[in-house]
Amino acid sequence: MSGDNPKPPHSPESDFSKQWPSELSQYLNFDDDQWSYDDLDSFVSGHAFSHKTEAIEVGEVGGSSTHHEGSSSINDGDEHEKNEVKDRVAFKTKSEIEIMDDGFKWRKYGKKMVKNSPNPRNYYRCSVEGCSVKKVVERDKDDPRYVITTYVGTHTHPSYS
């Protein structure tokens, strides 16, 4: 099949990404019919449930001013650029389950309950050595039937069947 193209949601390019501010509410709602279900098909392959993924959000690149804007007082001549290069991509998926196989193996490394949400937040990490990609999954507090999956980082290991 076409060459196993797991095609993770984290595209190498963040075209629209650099345009978005660094807020955690930039979930774009695409239409259910305009999304490429081809890729999703691989996801669903093996899972019998109706889930629609239509939301993309990207954070900043190597920026630490994402916490709260406001005082980004840049002291003259004192610019510390941290090149962590962490791509942040958030997907809002309509599904009852939050764990879907996107073609990679994930190992849960923590569960936390955020105060702003009655639902717990799940932290996942790539099981592949050398791959420091992280994934955060949380249920929407406004729409429990929706799940927000945030991918942080980029995979460095070859495609895994």
Partner DNA sequence: CGCGTTTGACCGGCGC
Partner DNA sequence: GCGCCGGTCAAACGCG
Is residue 115 a contact residue for DNA (CB under 7 A)?
A: yes
CB of 101 to DNA, least distance (A): 10
> What is the CB-side half-sphere exposure of residue 62 using CA atoms within 13 A?
7
Amino acid at 42: S
Contact 151, 133 (CB under 8 A): yes
> What is the CB-side half-sphere exposure of residue 33 using CA atoms within 13 A?
0
Point out which span in 54-62, 73-81, 88-96, 100-108 binds DNA (CB under 7 A). 100-108
- Per-residue HEC secondary structure of 37-87 comes to HHHHHHHHCCCCCCCEECCCEECCCCCCCCCCCCCCCCCCCCCCCCCCCCC
13 or 82: CB nearest DNA = 82
Tell me if residue 43 falls in helix, strand or coil.
helix
Point out which span in 9-17, 49-57, 89-97, 108-116 binds DNA (CB under 7 A). 108-116
106 or 151: CB nearest DNA = 106
Is residue 107 a contact residue for DNA (CB under 7 A)?
A: yes
Site residues (CB under 7 A) for DNA, limited to 60-99: 67-68
CA distances from 1 to 41, 68, 154 (A): 12, 45, 24
30 or 49: CB nearest DNA = 49
Point out which span in 12-20, 30-38, 119-127, 141-149 binds DNA (CB under 7 A). 119-127
Among 18, 47, 111, 141, binds DNA (CB under 7 A): 111
List interacting residues with DNA (CB under 7 A): 67-68, 105-112, 114-116, 121, 123, 125, 127, 134, 136
